[in-house]
Amino acid sequence: MSQALIDLVREKFPDTAGSSHRGDEVVNVRREQLVEIVSYLRNDAACDMKLLRDIVGVDLLTWRTEMTGGGALASNEAPAYAVQNKPRVEPRFYVAYNLYSITRKHSLRVRLDLRSDDAKVPTITSLYRTADWWERYVYDMFGIEFTGHPNLQRLLMYPEFQGFPLRKDYPVRKRQPLVPELDFPDLIRGPGPGPGGAGVPMSQTHVGRQNVDPNTYD
């Protein structure tokens, strides 16, 4: 059913590659064609894929290897050997767009491979309003930049978060540094405690623990 869809796409854009697995059809495209192809899929009457279901990012770094030694349940601390011999995999990421047409009842996945040093994708927020948050989510989790996005900020993580959590080289148990307390000025009572204010950061105010280094407080 969707094979016809792949044929349509490949007819118009011959240098894309199509494949199918367990009933899911996928079209591999290049970055330069992405907006054009998605636009075609959305607007062409035969395709009419008006529903962008989601945008998925995947990190292929450990596709062939396991970062930790041992079997499926080995501990998550990777000894030095495994960390040192981190695989270098190119392409490192891929982004998949799951599209659907409510009227024609067909689906298609558009897949785009990205290299680790060049993880940028043009935005499709001009085509689908829902792409706004999905692209922010993929950026937040993988660090893939969507050029032209009106508001590319972290979505689920707080702004001071360091790193990109769903990348395969982000350890599961990694700790984050403490964030200094934000200043919330009160219009009536004036600036509160916190950096820039007259007060002391909360981490230093607890009774009983003196000389606590806020970077290592635990």
Partner 1 sequence: MTDHMPPPSAPARPPGDPSASGAVNTAGGQPGAAKGQAAIPAPPKMVKVVVDGTEVEADSRDNLIEAARRIGVAIPYFCYHPRLSIAGQCRMCLVETSDAPGRLVPGCQVRVKEGLKITTNSPAVKDNQRGCMEFHLINHPVDCAICDQSGECKLQDYYMEYDHQPSRIRTYKLNKPKREIFGPLVVYDAERCIMCTRCVRFMDEVAKEPQLAVVQRGSHSLISTFPGQPLDSKYSGNTVDICPVGALLNRDFRFQSRVWFVNKSPTVCTGCANGCNVYAESRGEVIYRLLPRRNEEVNQVWMCDAGRLSYHASNERRLEWARIGRGDGAESVGPRLAIEKAVELLKPLQGQGGVGIYVSAQCTNEEAVAAFQLGAHLGAQRYSTGGVPPGDSDDFLIRADKNPNTNGLRLVAQAFGVKLEESVGRLKGLIAMRTDGLSANSLQGTELFIAVAQNESAVSALADVALPCQSVYEQEGTLVNWYGRLQRTWASVAAQRADAAAGWSWASRILGGLGGAGPGNAAEAFAALAQKSPHLQGLTFDALSEDGMVLEELLPRDWPARAPRPSPAAHSVRGPQTTPPGMKVGDEASGGSR
Partner 2 sequence: MTEQVLDPHAHDPLSLDAELPSSLMTVNLGPSHPAMHGTVRLVVTLDGETIVEAIPEIGFLHRGFSKSSENSTWHQVLPYTDRLNYVSPILNTTGYIMGVEKLIGIKPTERAEYLRVLGGEISRICDHLTCVGAIGLELGAYTVFLYAIEARELLWDRIAELTGARVTVSWTRISGVATDMPPGWEQRLRDCLPRVLELTNEIDTLLTRNRIFVDRTRGIGVISGEEAIDWGFTGPCLRACGVNYDVRKAHPYSVYDRMDFEIPLGSRGDTYDRYVLRLEEIRQSHKIVQQCLAQMPPGPIIGDDWRYALPPKKDVFGSIEGVMAHFKLIMEGIQVPAGEVYVYTEGANGELGFHIVSNGKGKPYAIQVRAPGFPILSALARLIKGHAVADLIPIFDSINMIGGEVEQ
> Could you list the residues that contact partner 2 (CB under 8 A)?
21-24, 26, 50-54, 56-59, 63-64, 66, 71-73, 76, 96, 98, 102, 105, 107, 109, 128-130, 132-134, 141, 154-158, 165-166, 168, 170, 172, 187
d(CA 6, CA 141): 30
For residue 164, count CB atoms less than 10 angstroms from its CB and return exposed for 0-12, middle for 13-18, buried for 19 or more.
buried
Q: Which does 82 bind (CB under 5 to 8 A by kind): partner 2, partner 1, none?
A: partner 1
What residues numbered 38-67 form the site for partner 1, per CB under 8 A?
64
Least distance to partner 1, CB of residue 26, Å: 22
Contact partner at residue 81 from partner 2, partner 1, none, CB < 5 to 8 Å by partner kind: partner 1
* Closer residue to partner 1, CB minimum distance, 84 or 210: 84
Cis, peptide link before residue 14, omega less than 30° from 0? no
96 neighbors 109 (Cβ within 8 angstroms): yes
Least separation in angstroms between residue 73's CB and partner 1 is: 5
Torsion angle, alpha carbons of 131, 134, 136, 140, to 10: -160
CA distances for 93 relative to 58, 148, 177, angstroms: 6, 20, 27
Q: Toward partner 1, which CB reaches closer, 66 or 118?
A: 66
**Strand partners for 29:** 112
Applying CB under 8 A, the site for partner 1 has a residue count of: 16
Binding of partner 1 by 89 (CB under 8 A): no
First and final C-alpha spacing in the chain: 57
- Tell me whether residue 80 or residue 207 sits nearer to partner 1 (CB atom): 80
Q: Is 174 exposed, middle or buried (0-12, 13-18, 19+ CB in 10 A)?
A: exposed
Q: Which of 14, 15, 32, 80 binds partner 1 (CB under 8 A)?
A: 80
175 binds partner 1 (CB under 8 A): no
Give the separation between CA 29 and CA 89, rounded to whole angstroms.
19
Footprint of partner 1 on this chain (CB under 8 A)?
64, 68-75, 77-82, 84
